[in-house]
Amino acid sequence: MSFIRWNKIGQDGTIAQIVLDRPEARNAFTTEIAEQLLDIFRNIAESDVRVVLLTSSNPKAFCSGADLKERNGMTETEWRNQHKLFENMFNAIADMPQPVIAVVDGFALAGGFEMVLNCDMIVAARTAIFGLPEVTRGIMPGCGGSRLLPKRIGVHRAKEWLCTGKFVTAEEADRAGLLNRLTGASDLYTQALELAEIIAGNAPIAVRSCKSSVDQLFGMNDKEARGQEIVYYNRCVDTEDRLEGVRAFVEKRPPSFVGR
């Protein structure tokens, strides 16, 4: 049974929408769901899609994390093997060449929040709730929580959120710098799609190079970063899209990028 739906949207089908669709369990992910997500992200990574929206069919929950009912009674070996699958699934999201936008309403907790953190951008409704409550269950986040959250909100805030296991409102998350856009629940999808369409309208090679450059250069010493930034820059120079961008500017018209 599939708990994930996805399709191409937008005028030219360059935006992929992935929908977490297990509403009765607040989209808690199982082994089966992780395998489905891993397969979907790997397929989209090799496609002509330019931007990905990761959404939920349940306005009360984006994702509540791993299904603890499935995990109850697992041996240590079974737990570790399942977690390795979860790691691969989260890494597939983070390693996407295309930007991935998390579209969040309701609860994004534990692994659900880590799923959000492995995306590139976050658009959230004011009714969203974030949290990493793993410490209240005798464990810690294992798929990016302690590694990725400090990059978004700073070390001191990240330590507080992680060590208390607190639930964080969308308003507080926005003040901390976590979000790209904060909006009303009724406007959530519209705002996310608007952001995706702006990105999808730009040169795909340039967008992918920007994403890769930021990911690789963040935290690198400046001397090394300068050299690597030019490597990504040069990837864009010898492309049809670079020539089209210049022509469109001179001719005072919108560019038509083809990804070559």
Q: DSSP readout, 16-46?
A: EEEEE--GGGTT-B-HHHHHHHHHHHHHHHT
Residue identified by tokens 């250069």 is 217
Which comes out higher in pLDDT, residue 126 or 79? 126
Look at the domain 4-200 and name its fold: 2-enoyl-CoA Hydratase; Chain A, domain 1 (3.90.226)
Domain ranges in the chain with CATH number 3.90.226.10 = 4-200
**Residues 70-94: what's their mean pLDDT?**
92
Contacts of 147 (CB under 8 A, 6+ apart): none
pLDDT of residue 79: 86
What is the model's pTM?
0.94
The whole-number pLDDT of residue 74 equals 84
At 47, the amino acid letter reads: S
Q: What is the mean pLDDT of the chain?
A: 94
pLDDT score of 110: 96
CATH code 1.10.12.10 region(s) in the chain: 204-250
**From CA 229, how far away is CA 234, in angstroms rounded?**
9
Q: Is the dihedral of CA 149, 155, 161, 165 positive or negative?
A: positive
Q: What is the pLDDT of residues 91-102, one digit of tens each?
A: 999 999 999 999
For residue 44, the tally of other CB atoms under 10 A from its CB is 20
Residues 6+ apart with CB under 8 A from 202: 257
**Nearest by Cα to 6 from 46, 47, 52:** 52
Distance of CA 251 to the CA centre of its chain: 36
Percent of the chain whose predicted confidence (pLDDT) is above 70: 100
Q: What is the Cα–Cα distance from 88 to 14, expressed in whole angstroms?
A: 25
- At the topology level of CATH, where does 204-250 sit? Lyase 2-enoyl-coa Hydratase; Chain  A, domain 2 (1.10.12)
What integer pLDDT is reported at residue 114 of this predicted model? 98
